[in-house]
């Protein structure tokens, strides 16, 4: 098997259950044993989907990759997605190692910092209904082009 599987990441992984959810594209993570050109990471955009292709790595290598890729801290968002967390065996202690990354995330992805904070507070990879709603409200507040009519 060359790829682990498709893992939906980004806002859709959290907010697709909301009736008024809008996103400009789909974000999909693919972990491959032998990625094209042998690169550790590459982004491929096709139509309205961004494919984040990663070479298969250990959990610790993924953590190190996110910490050292300072120009794009939102990549650490994969550590918030339950499917990735389960597949890689991520713990709350692992997530805590990424605190500095989440605290430097751009404004458009501030909902990820909020989810990060809730996971740490909850000591688990889950959100209460109120927390999910707060994260969604944060997401919408940074995307006024989609939600200005509300």
**One pLDDT digit (tens) per residue for the chain, 150 residues:** 355 578 999 999 999 999 999 888 899 999 998 887 878 899 999 999 999 999 999 999 999 999 998 667 788 999 999 999 999 999 999 999 999 999 999 999 999 999 999 999 999 999 999 999 999 999 999 988 877 655
pLDDT of 53: 92
Region for 50 from its dihedrals, namely left if φ exceeds 0, alpha if ψ lies in -120 to 50, beta otherwise: beta
Q: What is the DSSP letter of 9?
A: E
pLDDT of 45: 93
pLDDT of 103: 92
Domain boundaries defined on the chain: 3-144
Size of the chain, expressed as the number of residues it contains = 150
pLDDT of 65: 93
pLDDT of 21: 94
Q: What string of DSSP letters covers 26-55?
A: EEEEEEESS-GGG-SEEEEEETTEEEEEEE
pLDDT of 150: 52
pLDDT of 1: 39
pLDDT of 91: 98
Q: pTM for this structure?
A: 0.91
**Which residues face 9 on adjacent strands?**
27
Query: Contacts for 140-143 with beta carbons within 8 Å, 24 or more apart?
Result: 142/107, 142/108, 142/110, 142/111, 143/22, 143/108
């Amino acid at each position: 098997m060359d790829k682990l599987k498709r893992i939906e990441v980004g806002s859709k992984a959290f907010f697709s259950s909301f009736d008024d959810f809008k996103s400009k594209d789909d974000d999909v993570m693919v972990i491959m044993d032998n990625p094209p050109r042998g690169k550790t990471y590459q982004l491929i955009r096709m139509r309205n989907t961004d494919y984040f292709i990663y070479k298969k790595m250990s959990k610790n290598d993924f953590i190190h990759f996110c910490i050292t890729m300072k120009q794009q801290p939102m990549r650490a968002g994969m550590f918030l997605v339950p499917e990735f967390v389960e597949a890689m065996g991520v713990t709350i202690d692992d997530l805590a190692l990424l605190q500095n990354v989440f605290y430097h995330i751009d404004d458009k992805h501030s909902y990820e910092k909020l989810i990060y904070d809730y996971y740490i507070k909850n000591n688990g990879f889950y959100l209460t209904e109120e927390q999910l709603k707060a994260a969604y409200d944060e997401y919408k507040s940074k995307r006024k082009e989609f939600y200005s009519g509300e």
